[in-house]
Amino acid sequence: MPSIPPLIDTHVHLDLPELAHQLPAVLARSRAAGVTRWLVPAVDGNHWAGLVALAARTPGLYYALGLHPWSLGASPTAPLAELAHRLASRTGAPPPVAIGECGLDGLIDTPLADQQWVLEAQLHLACDHELPLILHSRKTHSQLLGLLRRYRPAPAA
């Protein structure tokens, strides 16, 4: 019987505070199942520094920085500026491998126009820095595809 090739978990929120105390056990179970790498997408700016630190001390863990539609808050301008700064200065060792998790969600109270504005800012950054995106979409597939056709972010390497 052929052996299973190494696995990569491409979307796992290992940076969630409720996982912090059990993270070593979660990673050990994951490794035992054959997972050798993890990609952790951020959902808000409040956890970026912790996520960068987690990636620096966890071999095989990579991360993306972004603003999820669920966590936009009243004023996303400051987090977007911080994201742009982190990408431009390559703050973090290792640097982020993608932008995300970002997108559109038609089932939340945040107006879709506000979500789209924040997503477009992240699309610009993805294009400027030639980074792929990790996308979230609920009931917004047509709008999201329209934006992706306009911006054409970089394909994953």
Low-confidence ranges of the chain (pLDDT < 50): none
Segments making up each domain of the chain, as ranges = 39-151
What whole-number distance in Å separates Cα of residue 25 and Cα of residue 79? Answer: 32
Fold (topology level) of 39-151: TIM Barrel (3.20.20)
What was the pLDDT predicted at 151?
80
Per-residue pLDDT, 25: 95
**Model pLDDT, residue 132:** 92
Could you tell me which residues come within 8 angstroms of residue 100 by beta carbon, excluding any fewer than 6 positions away?
A: 41, 42, 64, 65, 66, 122, 133, 134, 135, 136
